[in-house]
Amino acid sequence: MIRTVIIEDELNLREINRMLLVDNFPDVEIVGEAGRVDEAVTLIKTEKPDLVLCDIELEDGNCFQVLQKCKPYNFRPVFITAFNQYAIKAIKFSAIDYILKPVNEYEFCAAIQCAIEQLGKNNSGIQTENLLAHTNYNNSCKKVVLRTSDAMHLVAVEEIIYCKSDNSYTTFFLHNKKEITVSKSIKEFAELFADYDFLRPHQSFLVNLNSIIKIDKTDGGFIIMTNGAEIPISTRRKQLIFDQLEKL
């Protein structure tokens, strides 16, 4: 059985989460529920769950405060939250599953199933630590968790030279010459890295402005990166891209 706790301060929403788990996941055993920070910490430490459903905003704080007190992370969190741009961005940087309120049964089941499939892979600590780093406003060294079929890669954003799209897959090219391919669209990463000096000169590419060494305006224009890669500039984005790059 998959030992599970529900951290939610609204009783009606807690009941919805419980019902969705019972109706859709027969292997899940709900071993406790809590709605306050201290209660949640005690529950997790006592019951040692495999899965923790966390509402981000609690009656007396938030779930990040709970997680900070629950090391080591031998459980996998799944966040349930009303739209909170900052929190969701931190969650996405850490490749952790989440569910938006109001809860949709299909999305709920998809997130829980994905989390269950990750149980036993011993990578929850990496993801949770990175999440907490992103919720620390004073932390300037930002990292992203790239989840592949067989591993979790923790990569500093500044180590990314550029990204290349292949339909629903994105390949990351890093300064250490390593390449990592994940099953997410480049559009998701363009939005995620919007505040980190990244530019999308072409629908298939996302480049780190700090890794550009030259702009060649011949043959339609292309960007030369520190690893020698030549990145095309699309015709419709050319003037916008040149204007942005000339400001560097």
Element (H, E) at 171: strand 169-174
Q: Specify whether the CB–CB gap between 2 and 50 falls below 8 A.
A: yes
What is the C-alpha to C-alpha distance for residues 217 and 166, in angstroms, rounded to an integer?
Answer: 25
Looking at residue 10, what is its pLDDT? 93
Helices 85-93, 124-134: axis angle to 10 degrees equals 140
Question: If pLDDT is split at 50, 70 and 90, which confidence band does 137 have?
Answer: low
Altogether, the residues listed in the chain come to a count of 248
List, for residues 31-85, the tens digit of each pLDDT value: 999 999 999 999 999 999 999 999 999 989 999 999 999 989 999 999 998 877 7
Tell the CATH superfamily of the 151-245 domain: LytTr DNA-binding domain (2.40.50.1020)
pTM of the model: 0.85
More confident residue, 229 or 234: 229
Q: Which amino acid type is present at position 39? A: E
Element (H, E) at 2: strand 2-7
Q: What angle do CA 70, 75, 79 make, to 5 degrees?
A: 85
Q: Please tell us whether the domain made up of 2-134 is placed in CATH 3.40.640.10.
A: no
Element (H, E) at 181: strand 179-182
Q: Specify whether the CB–CB gap between 7 and 55 falls below 8 A.
A: yes
- Per cent of the chain over pLDDT 90 is 74
> What's the burial of 233, exposed, middle or buried (CB within 10 Å: 0-12/13-18/19+)?
buried
DSSP 3-state of 225: strand
Domain 2-134 and domain 151-245, same fold? Reply is no
Distance of CA 166 to the CA centre of its chain: 20
Query: Which sequence spans correspond to the domains of the chain?
Result: 2-134, 151-245
